[in-house]
């Protein structure tokens, strides 16, 4: 299913380089980038480099009533402008399912139609009161009702109720490597908001079965079978990570820790002990995913052995109790920031690096998950900077907020993408919810400190 408006499949055009879908998507990309290059004449607005050529979407002009960061020292006003923009973007992504449930799509243009576990989780965790508590509960319930009999959790569900379980792989037998962890995190976010364990009381066993379905190897790390590969972390869903997967393992550590506490509170000691042991096992074996040259985390053990910027930032954000490694990762993120930051937004890999294999999608270096810059990961980087250098954290938050308020909120961006010898301002999918929701708590914290 290749139509993103009618299908939960995300950015995945199934088939190899000889397939019709691949050739069509390549033509679409070439046409779009040609339009983007032509738009660089002085005074022209750059077309959205993902959907502009197809849907006529142009970058929204800045609202003249919004203060630009740096033009005023009034932090309260600047933060209010970001909060107002966040509310506008989030509200634009609301959908109503066929059964009446309020859902939130990943973006306000419904480029991705439906509710995604990871996008919705990042929204719930970051939005605060912009998203009502009952919407978090109802979205969780809408998704968990689509859990498969084998325990597999859905990756996405469209308003009709049809679920998708994996982007690259077999949707009947596999899932993305992070679906179950995000469902646990959603239940925890509802508990944090309401001080109610209702979702754990109702669904603890279902959540545990979902976690049991996640493939792990003998040392406890989430494992993508090289012989039967499938998507691991959904924000790099078409990359060929194989073997032990760092980001999915960090998510598993987080979710296992949450389930252990929830089970203990509900007097399920055996389950609590099981997940506590799994979290400790991951702590004891994360060293396997360290790059010997840099001393920080790579993306995958058997394939895509590149330094994973997002995973390193998330490791710091989570507070995994490995203090020596934490110090090394913090130093790396600060010292190498010019190789992964642009306007406060974050590449997956360091500048000049590209993934070895991209499945199902045409993706030149510098675009989408292969070198564009994402605000989804900005909050984790801001948290690291706040610990290491408060001034650097403030400068990065200023750059991010200024970009949001002047250019808009996109899934990903790249001012330096070269196409046909011309510099193209690459932007993809406007009004992208996770881009502003995920870093919002850190922006709030920095501006209120």
The pLDDT confidence band at residue 242, using thresholds 50, 70 and 90, is: confident
Does the pLDDT value for residue 60 go beyond 60? Answer: no
Does the pLDDT value for residue 27 go beyond 60? Answer: no
At a CB cut-off of 8 Å and minimum separation 6, what does 10 contact? 4, 112, 116, 155, 156, 167, 234, 237
Q: What is the pLDDT of residue 11?
A: 42
Does the pLDDT value for residue 364 go beyond 90? Answer: no
Work out the burial of residue 436: count CB atoms within 10 Å of its CB; fewer than 13 is exposed, 13-18 middle, 19 or more buried: buried
The pLDDT confidence band at residue 361, using thresholds 50, 70 and 90, is: low
The pLDDT confidence band at residue 445, using thresholds 50, 70 and 90, is: very high
What is the spatial distance between Cα 444 and Cα 100, in angstroms, rounded to a whole number?
33
Residues 71-83 have a mean pLDDT of 82
Residues 15-38 have a mean pLDDT of 37
Q: What is the dihedral of CA 396, 398, 402, 405, to 10 degrees?
A: 110
Q: What is the dihedral of CA 343, 347, 353, 355, to 10 degrees?
A: -150
Residue reference for tokens 């040259």: 293
Q: What is the pLDDT of residue 63?
A: 43
How many CA atoms lie within 13 Å of 345's alpha carbon, on the beta-carbon side? 27
- For residue 341, list its beta bridge partners: 346
Does the pLDDT value for residue 61 go beyond 90? Answer: no
What is the spatial distance between Cα 168 and Cα 429, in angstroms, rounded to a whole number?
21
Q: What is the pLDDT of residue 1?
A: 36
Whether the CB-CB separation of 123 and 437 falls below 8 Å is answered with: yes
Angle (CA) 99-101-103 rounded to 5° is: 130
Q: What is the pLDDT of residue 401?
A: 97
The pLDDT confidence band at residue 112, using thresholds 50, 70 and 90, is: very high
| Structural domains in the chain plus CATH codes | 20-448 (1.50.10.10)
Token pair for residue 339? 């190789």
Summarised one tens digit per residue, pLDDT across range 245-285 is 999 999 999 999 999 999 999 999 999 999 999 999 999 99
Residues 96-116 have a mean pLDDT of 96
Mean pLDDT value across the chain: 86
Summarised one tens digit per residue, pLDDT across range 371-422 is 999 999 999 999 999 999 999 999 999 999 999 999 999 999 999 887 766 7
The pLDDT confidence band at residue 121, using thresholds 50, 70 and 90, is: very high
Does the pLDDT value for residue 19 go beyond 70? Answer: no
Q: What is the pLDDT of residue 296?
A: 98
Summarised one tens digit per residue, pLDDT across range 134-177 is 999 999 999 999 999 999 999 999 999 999 999 889 989 999 99
Q: How crowded is residue 326: how many other Cβ atoms within 10 Å of its Cβ? A: 17
Does the pLDDT value for residue 362 go beyond 90? Answer: no
Does the pLDDT value for residue 185 go beyond 50? Answer: yes
Residues 335-342 have a mean pLDDT of 98
What is the share, in percent, of the chain residues with pLDDT greater than 90? 73
The pLDDT confidence band at residue 363, using thresholds 50, 70 and 90, is: confident
- For residue 424, list its beta bridge partners: 417
Does the pLDDT value for residue 44 go beyond 70? Answer: no
The pLDDT confidence band at residue 34, using thresholds 50, 70 and 90, is: very low
The pLDDT confidence band at residue 46, using thresholds 50, 70 and 90, is: very low
């Amino acid at each position: 299913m290749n139509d993103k408006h009618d299908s939960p499949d995300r950015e995945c055009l199934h088939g190899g380089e000889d397939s019709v879908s691949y050739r069509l998507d390549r033509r679409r990309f070439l046409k779009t980038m040609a339009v983007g290059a032509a738009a660089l004449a002085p005074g022209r607005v750059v077309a959205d480099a993902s959907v502009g050529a197809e849907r006529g979407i142009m970058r929204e002009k800045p609202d003249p009533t919004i203060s630009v960061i740096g033009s005023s020292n009034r932090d309260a006003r600047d933060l209010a402008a970001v909060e107002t923009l966040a509310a506008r973007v989030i509200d634009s992504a609301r959908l109503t399912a066929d059964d009446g449930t309020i859902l939130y799509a990943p973006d306000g243009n419904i480029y991705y139609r439906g509710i995604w576990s990871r996008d919705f989780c990042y929204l719930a965790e970051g939005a605060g009161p912009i998203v009502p508590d009952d919407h978090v509960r109802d979205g969780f319930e809408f998704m968990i009702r689509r859990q498969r009999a084998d325990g597999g959790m859905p990756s996405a569900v469209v308003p009709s109720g049809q679920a998708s379980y994996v982007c690259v792989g077999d949707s009947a037998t596999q899932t993305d490597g992070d679906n179950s962890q995000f469902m646990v995190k959603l239940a925890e976010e509802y508990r944090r908001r309401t001080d109610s364990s209702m979702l754990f009381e109702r669904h603890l066993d279902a959540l545990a079965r979902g976690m049991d379905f996640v493939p792990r190897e003998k040392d406890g790390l989430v494992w993508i079978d090289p012989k039967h590969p499938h998507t691991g972390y959904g924000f790099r869903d078409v990359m060929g990570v194989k073997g032990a997967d760092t980001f999915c393992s960090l998510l598993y550590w987080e979710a296992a820790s949450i389930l252990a506490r929830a089970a203990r509170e509900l007097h399920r000691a055996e389950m609590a002990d099981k997940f506590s042991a799994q979290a400790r096992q991951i702590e004891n074996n994360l060293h396997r995913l360290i790059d010997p040259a840099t001393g920080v985390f790579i993306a995958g053990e058997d394939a895509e052995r590149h330094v994973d910027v997002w995973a390193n930032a998330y490791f710091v954000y989570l507070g995994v109790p490995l203090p020596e490694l934490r110090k090394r990762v913090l130093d790396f993120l600060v010292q190498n920031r010019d190789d992964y930051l642009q306007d406060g937004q974050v590449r997956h890999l360091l500048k000049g690096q590209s993934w070895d294999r991209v499945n199902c999608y045409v993706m030149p270096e510098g675009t989408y998950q292969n070198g564009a810059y994402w605000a989804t990961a900005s909050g984790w980087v801001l948290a690291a900077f706040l610990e290491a250098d408060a001034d650097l954290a403030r400068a990065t938050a200023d750059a991010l907020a200024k970009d949001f308020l002047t250019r808009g909120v996109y899934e990903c961006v790249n001012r330096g993408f070269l196409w046909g010898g011309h510099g193209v301002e690459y932007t993809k999918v406007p009004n992208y919810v996770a881009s502003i929701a995920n870093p919002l708590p850190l922006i709030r914290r920095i501006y209120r400190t």
